[in-house]
Structure 1
Amino acid sequence: MAGRPRTISEERIMVALAAAVGRTGPGRLTLADVAREAGVSTGVLVGRYGSKRDLLLGFVRWGLAEKAFIRPMRAAFESADDPVEGLIRAVVRSAGPDVEPEEFANHLAFLHLELADPEFRELLGEHDTAVRAELAAYLRSAVASGHVVRGADVDALAAAVDSIRNGTQITWAMTRSEPLAEALRRDLSTLLTPYRHDKENQ
C-alpha cells in the first residue's frame, strides 16, 4: 500500500472512532464499527492501522499531535473578556455536552483501558501534562491582567482545576442532579473565587 494516496482524512476516521466508542465502548468495538461510521471499508482501516489496538493508539496520538482536545478549549478561553471566565468556559468545553449514562460509561471504559495498558498510560500522561500546561497559561493570563491575585501558585491551581475537571464529571455521572456545565461552573467558582482580584477595592 506504500505510495498510495490517502483519500480518507485522519480526522474523519478519528471522529468516527470517537462516535463508535461512545456507542459500543472499546471492548465491544470492532474495526467494522469504525469503518461503517466513517463510510469506508474495513480494509482501509486494516491497511492503515492493522489492528483495533493500533487504531485506538493512533486515536490518542492523533489527538496529541493535532491538539484536538486543546484547540476547542483555547477557542472557549479566547471568547471571554475575563480570563477567569475564559478558564471556566474552556473546562466546560473540554467536558463536552451532557450524554446518556451508557455513552459516558463507554468513554470511561476507554479511560480504564488507557490506565491498564503501559503504552496507553504513557500517552495519557502526555495528554494530562498538555492540559495542565494549557490551564496554567490561562491562569497566568488572569494574573497578568489583574483578575487573579499576584502570588497565586499558578501550577498548583492548574492541577486543582484539572482535578475538578475530571472529578466533577465522575460525580455528575453518578448523580445527574444538574447539567454538567452547571456542576463544573459551581465547583470551579468555589476553587477560584478566593483568588479572584476584587477590582472594586483597587
Structure 2
Amino acid sequence: MAGRPRTISEERIMVALAVAIGRVGPGRLTLADVAGEAGVSTGVLVGRYGSKRDLLLGFVRWGLAGKAFVQRMRTAFDSADDPVEGLIRAVVRSAGPDVGPEEFANHLAFLHFELADPEFRALLGEHDAAVRAELAACLRSAAASGHLVAGADVDALAAAVDSIRNGTQLTWAMTRSEPLAEALRRDLSTLLSPYRSDKEDR
C-alpha cells in the first residue's frame, strides 16, 4: 500500500478536482468529493496534499507549471491559416465549452475564493501574465504576416482581448442569449476588425 499513491497521476487528481468543483463549488468541496471522482481513497489525497487548501493550491500551481491552458490556446492559434482568426479560436478554446448555470457559478465561486486569498491571488496574477503574453505573441505573429495594420499596439490589444475573454464570459453567464463561442467571436471581431489590414480581402 505504501507505493500506491505514487501510481496515481497528478493529472488524474486535478481533472477530478475540476469536475468536483464544478459540481459542488469550492465551499462545499471535500477531499472525499475529489477522491470519489478520482477513484482513490481520501487517505491518498491527505498523504499527498494534506489539506483541502493545499490541494486547491496544488491545482492552481499544476495548471501554471504544465502550461496546459496556454498550450490549448497555442494549438488553436496554430491550426488557423489566418492568424487573426487563429487568435479568436485561441480565446474561444480557452473559455471551454458551454456549461450549465450552476456549474459556471461554482467555478466563479472558486475565482472569488482565489481573489480573497493573497497566495492564490499571486498565482492568478502569474496565470494572467502568461495568458496576456501568449495573446501578445499571437498578435505579433499577425502583425508580422501583414494581417494587422502597421503600428498596432499589440500589448494594448492583448490586454483588451484578455478583458473581452473575461468580461464576455460574465455577461454570457447572466444572459445566455447565444452560445458562448458566438458571443466571444462577435466581441473579438468588433475589437479587432479596425486593426485588420486584410479586411478588404475578406
The TM-score bracket by the shorter chain reads: over 0.9
Q: What is the alpha-carbon distance in structure 1 between the residues aligned to residue 65 and residue 6 of structure 2? A: 18
Match of 1:12, SS? helix
In structure 2, what is the equivalent of residue 86 of structure 1? Answer: 86
1:103 maps to 2:117: no
**Offset at 1:5?**
6.5
In structure 1, what is the equivalent of residue 127 of structure 2? Answer: 127
Structure 2 unpaired stretches of 5+: none
Residues 132-154 of structure 1: CA distance to partner in whole angstroms, max 9, x if unpaired? 00000000000000001120000
Are the aligned partners of 2:73 and 2:90 in contact in 1 as well (CA < 8 Å)? yes
Q: How does 1:90-169 map to 2 (within 5 A)?
A: 90-169=90-169
Q: What is the alpha-carbon distance in structure 1 between the residues aligned to residue 129 and residue 2 of structure 2? A: 34
Q: What is the alpha-carbon distance in structure 1 between the residues aligned to residue 78 and residue 136 of structure 2? A: 15
Match of 1:69, SS? helix
**CA-atom RMSD, angstroms?**
1.6
**Offset at 1:199?**
6.6
In structure 2, what is the equivalent of residue 68 of structure 1? Answer: 68
**Offset at 1:72?**
1.0
**Offset at 1:68?**
1.7
Q: What is the alpha-carbon distance in structure 2 between the residues aligned to residue 75 and residue 41 of structure 1? A: 35
- Partner amino acid for 1:77? F
In structure 1, what is the equivalent of residue 176 of structure 2? Answer: 176
Residues 129-179 of structure 1: CA distance to partner in whole angstroms, max 9, x if unpaired? 000000000000000000011200000000000000000000000000000
In structure 2, what is the equivalent of residue 30 of structure 1? Answer: 30
- Partner amino acid for 1:59? F
Normalised by the size of structure 2, how large is the TM-score?
Answer: 0.96
**Which aligned runs of 4 or more in structure 1 are off by greater than 4 angstroms?**
1-5
Match of 1:6, SS? helix
**Offset at 1:13?**
0.4
Cα 1:138–1:2 change in 2 (3 A) is: farther
Cα 1:141–1:50 change in 2 (3 A) is: same
Residues 17-48 of structure 1: CA distance to partner in whole angstroms, max 9, x if unpaired? 00000000000000000000000000000000
Match of 2:181, SS? helix
Are the aligned partners of 2:140 and 2:154 in contact in 1 as well (CA < 8 Å)? yes
Match of 1:191, SS? helix
- Partner amino acid for 2:73? M
Q: What is the alpha-carbon distance in structure 1 between the residues aligned to residue 54 and residue 117 of structure 2? A: 12
Cα 1:178–1:18 change in 2 (3 A) is: same
Are the aligned partners of 2:193 and 2:199 in contact in 1 as well (CA < 8 Å)? no
**Offset at 1:200?**
5.1
**Offset at 1:77?**
0.6
Q: What is the alpha-carbon distance in structure 1 between the residues aligned to residue 143 and residue 54 of structure 2? A: 42
Q: What is the alpha-carbon distance in structure 2 between the residues aligned to residue 183 and residue 82 of structure 1? A: 20
1:191 maps to 2:186: no
Structure 1 unpaired stretches of 5+: none
**Offset at 1:4?**
7.4
Cα 1:200–1:178 change in 2 (3 A) is: closer
